[in-house]
Amino acid sequence: MAVAIRLRREGVRNAPHYKIVVADQRKKRDGKFIEILGTYDPMKEGENFRINLERADYWVGVGARPSQTVGSIINKARKLAA
C-alpha cells in the first residue's frame, strides 16, 4: 500500500484550513485517512501550523511520502524544535 502524508482541505469557500493526514495514496484528497498528524491554516500570519513530529518521523521512516507542502512544513517544524 502506497502511503502519503498530505493536506486534507476543510473550512469554507475563500477561508480554507487543512488537516495534515496520513492516507492511502489512491484515496481522494478529502476521503478516508489513516491518522491526523496536525493542522495548517494558510490564512493565519506567523506560525500557521501544528504537527506531531514524532508521528511524522515514524510515518516517513516506514515509507510514507510527504507532499511538497507537507515536506516544507515538517522542515520548518524541525527548525523550530531545534
What are the residue boundaries of the structural domains of the chain, listed by start? 3-81
Fold of 3-81: S16 Ribosomal Protein; Chain: A; (3.30.1320)
Residues facing 40 on adjacent strands: 18, 49
* Count of beta carbons in the 10 Å neighbourhood of residue 80: 10
pLDDT band at 30 (very low <50, low <70, confident <90, very high): confident
- In this structure, of 26-30, 37-41, 72-76, the range with the lowest mean pLDDT score is 26-30
pLDDT band at 6 (very low <50, low <70, confident <90, very high): very high
| Axis crossing angle, helix 53-61 with helix 68-81, rounded to the nearest 10 | 130
Region 23-50 average pLDDT: 93
